[in-house]
Amino acid sequence: MRRMVWSMVDLLGELVICIVTLCFGLLISFQLAHIYHVRHITRIARRCIDSGTIAPVLVELEKAHQMGYVKEVDIDEPLT
């Protein structure tokens, strides 16, 4: 009986460690994605400032549209 209790405690402890590790992994992946996104936006903003136009933003928007990340929006279509 005593061994069963210890094995359940060990199993519970390992489960908690797995859940905590998973949560930290998710947090780190979101942070890395955020850092990448901010650097990308900063790079575009610097190009806009250097060129004095919004052309770099339009180029990135066109690239995103070609990759399928952005869909065309009909102005008359209501937002959902």
**Cα(13)–Cα(50) distance, rounded to whole angstroms?**
55
- Asked whether residue 14 is assigned to any structural domain, the reply reads yes
Give the pLDDT score at 68. 80
**Positions of the chain with pLDDT lower than 50, given as ranges:** none
Name the 3-class secondary structure at 69. Answer: coil
Give the pLDDT score at 4. 60
**Per the structure, how many domains does the chain have?**
1
State pTM to two decimals: 0.60
Q: Which two tokens stand for residue 49?
A: 């400032």
- Asked whether residue 55 is assigned to any structural domain, the reply reads yes
Q: For residue 22, what are the domain limits? A: 2-67
